[in-house]
C-alpha cells in the first residue's frame, strides 16, 4: 500500500486548485473557442424572446473616465485629495470618488484604503486589493497579508507601518491594475503619504514599484535598492521596492531576498535621523 492510498488522500489536485484560486484564476478557458453547434452537440439557439430592457443605472462618472478622459479623473482625484485635511477625510473622499473604473468593474463591496498607524515612520504601498480585502475593507488581510504581517513582526515593524495600495478597488479577477487606474488613484496615495509624513517608503511588487517610481525595470532589478520618491507636491522620501508577498507564497525560495531587503530598510529606519 502506498502513502497516498485510501488512508491518506492525494492532495495534489486540491493544492493545485488552491494555487490557481490564490493567483486569481476563477474560470478555465481554452485558447480557441469550441463550436459546439457545428459539432452537433447542442441545438442552435432560438431567437431571443423580446424582454423589455431594464432601466439602466445612471452611467457612473467612471464609465466616462475609463476612456480617453483620464486627465479629468486625475484632476478630480487631485482636488479631492488636496481638500482632505486628515486620513479620515481622505478615506471618505476615496469612498465617494467615482473616477476610477475599478470601482464599477472589480470591487464587489467597497473601497479599500489603508490600515496601520497614522504616525508611522514607514508607509508600505502594495498593488491593489484582492477578494478578502474587498470584503473586509482593509488592505493585506488575505494570505499574502498574513505573510507580510509575519515578516513585519520578525523585523520589529508591526506597530511602525501604515499600509495602503496603488489602487483602492479590487481589479477584476485580481489582474494587475493598469497604469491609468494607478494614475487616477495616485493623488490619494500621495496625499496619504503627505499626511503621514513618514521617514521612508516600501513598495511591494513590480506594479507598485513601477508606478510609484515611474520606472520600467523589472522588480528583480529594482528590489533592495534605494530610490528617491518624489511626490507631485515636492515631497521627497527614500523608497525601496521589494518582492510582493503573493510572489513569495508562490516562490518561497525568494523569501530570503525579501528578508534581506527588509533588514536593510529596518537598519536605516532605526538609525537616528540627522538633524536638519
Question: Torsions phi, psi of 115, nearest 5?
Answer: -145, 160
For cell 488522500, the residue is 9
99/126 with CB nearer ligand URA: 126
d(CA 248, CA 21): 16
Cα–Cα distance, 6 to 133 (Å, whole number)? 38
- Of 66 and 246, nearer to ligand URA (C-beta) is 246
The residues near 145 (Cβ < 8 Å, ≥ 6 apart) are 132, 133, 139, 245
What span, in angstroms and rounded, lies between the C-alpha atoms of 109 and 259?
33
Looking only at residues 209 through 248 of this chain, which bind ligand URA when binding is defined by CB under 6 A?
246
Q: Which residue is nearest to ligand URA (CB)?
A: 126
Please say whether the beta carbons of 122 and 99 come within 8 A: no
The distance of closest approach from Cβ of residue 181 to ligand URA in the complex, given in angstroms and rounded to an integer, is: 13
**Is residue 116 near ligand URA by the rule CB under 6 A?**
no
* Contact flag: residue 106 with ligand URA (CB under 6 A): no
User: Residue 61 or residue 129: which is nearer to ligand URA going by CB?
Assistant: 129
Question: How many residues sit in the footprint of ligand URA (CB under 6 A)?
Answer: 14
Shortest Å distance, C-beta 207 to ligand URA: 8
Q: Which is nearer to ligand URA, 160 or 170 (CB)?
A: 170
For residues 93 and 35, what is the distance between their CA atoms, to the nearest angstrom?
48
The footprint of ligand URA on residues 152-181 (CB under 6 A) is 165
Tell me how far, at minimum, the Cβ of 81 lies from ligand URA, in Å. Answer: 20
How far apart are alpha carbons 21 and 25 in whole angstroms?
A: 5
State the DSSP H helix or E strand holding residue 123, giving kind and residue range, or none if neither: strand 122-126
- Of residues 119-148, those binding ligand URA (CB under 6 A): 126-130, 133, 139-140, 142, 144-145
Residues at the contact surface with ligand URA, assessed by CB under 6 A: 126-130, 133, 139-140, 142, 144-145, 165, 204, 246
Amino acid at each position: 500500500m502506498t502513502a497516498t492510498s485510501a488512508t491518506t488522500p492525494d492532495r495534489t489536485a486540491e493544492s493545485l486548485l488552491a494555487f490557481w484560486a490564490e493567483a486569481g484564476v476563477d474560470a478555465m478557458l481554452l485558447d480557441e473557442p469550441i463550436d459546439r453547434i457545428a459539432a452537433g452537440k447542442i441545438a442552435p439557439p432560438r431567437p431571443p424572446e423580446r424582454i423589455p430592457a431594464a432601466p439602466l443605472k445612471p452611467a457612473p462618472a467612471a464609465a466616462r473616465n475609463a476612456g480617453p478622459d483620464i486627465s479629468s479623473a486625475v484632476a478630480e482625484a487631485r482636488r479631492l485629495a488636496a481638500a482632505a485635511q486628515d486620513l479620515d477625510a481622505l478615506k471618505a473622499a476615496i469612498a465617494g470618488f467615482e473616477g476610477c473604473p475599478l470601482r464599477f468593474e472589480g470591487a464587489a463591496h467597497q473601497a479599500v484604503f489603508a490600515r496601520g498607524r497614522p504616525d508611522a515612520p514607514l508607509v508600505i504601498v502594495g498593488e491593489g486589493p484582492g477578494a478578502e480585502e474587498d470584503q473586509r475593507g482593509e488592505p493585506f488581510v488575505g494570505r499574502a497579508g498574513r505573510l507580510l504581517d509575519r515578516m513585519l513582526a520578525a523585523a520589529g515593524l508591526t506597530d511602525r507601518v501604515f499600509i495602503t495600495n496603488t489602487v483602492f478597488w479590487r481589479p477584476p479577477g485580481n489582474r494587475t491594475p493598469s497604469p491609468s487606474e494607478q494614475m487616477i488613484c495616485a493623488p490619494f496615495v500621495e496625499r496619504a503619504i503627505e499626511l503621514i509624513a513618514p521617514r521612508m517608503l516600501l513598495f511591494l511588487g513590480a506594479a507598485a514599484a513601477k508606478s510609484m517610481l515611474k520606472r520600467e525595470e523589472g522588480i528583480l532589478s529594482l528590489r533592495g535598492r534605494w530610490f528617491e520618491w518624489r511626490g507631485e507636491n515636492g515631497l521627497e522620501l527614500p523608497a525601496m521596492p521589494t518582492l510582493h508577498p503573493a510572489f513569495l507564497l508562490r516562490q518561497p525560495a525568494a523569501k530570503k531576498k525579501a528578508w534581506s531587503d527588509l533588514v536593510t530598510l529596518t537598519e536605516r529606519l532605526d538609525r537616528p535621523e540627522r538633524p536638519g
